[in-house]
């Protein structure tokens, strides 16, 4: 009677494959965990550049003056269709601009130095937390 040759994997071989997959998942997961946060930081940096450029155009169009107080009504709809979003990891996303003449807050949106401050016309991220590289967001 001829022997029938059967092929397949043993339980030990399957356990080794599962263990290898588990090790790879353990190594790879932390690298992908911060991708959303990293993309939000990139979007926020791009939106900050858009706002700064828009304020520079406003400055040149208005004979060397930045908007007084909150610049939202000065920039929309003439310079921007809508206010860009600010994404921070520690606050909800926001399109709000908080105008400051003195000490900065921590609202998580945009911040704007009013005419009472030496940095009048500068826009920044109104957040005292750090990004993935350890840089304070308001210093971008």
pLDDT digit string (tens) for the chain, length 140 residues: 667 766 777 888 889 999 999 888 888 777 777 788 888 889 899 999 998 899 889 898 888 888 887 888 888 888 888 989 988 888 888 888 888 876 777 888 888 888 777 778 888 888 888 888 888 888 88
Residue extents of the structural domains in the chain: 35-139
Report yes or no: 83 and 41 within 8 Å, Cβ to Cβ: no
Is 30 strand, coil or helix?
helix
CB-side neighbour CA atoms (13 Å) of 28:
6
């Amino acid at each position: 009677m001829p022997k029938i040759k059967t092929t397949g994997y043993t339980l030990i071989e399957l356990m080794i494959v599962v263990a290898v997959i588990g090790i790879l998942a353990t190594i790879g997961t932390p690298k992908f965990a911060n991708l959303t946060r990293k993309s939000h930081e990139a979007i926020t940096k791009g939106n900050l550049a858009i706002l700064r450029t828009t304020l520079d155009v406003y400055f040149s169009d208005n004979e060397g003056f930045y908007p007084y107080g909150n610049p939202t009504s000065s920039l929309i709809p003439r310079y921007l269709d809508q206010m860009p979003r600010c994404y921070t990891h520690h606050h909800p996303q926001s399109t709000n601009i908080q105008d400051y003449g003195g000490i900065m807050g921590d609202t998580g949106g945009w911040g704007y130095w009013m005419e009472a401050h030496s940095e009048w016309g500068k826009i920044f991220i109104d957040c005292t937390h750090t990004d993935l590289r350890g840089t304070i967001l308001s210093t971008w």
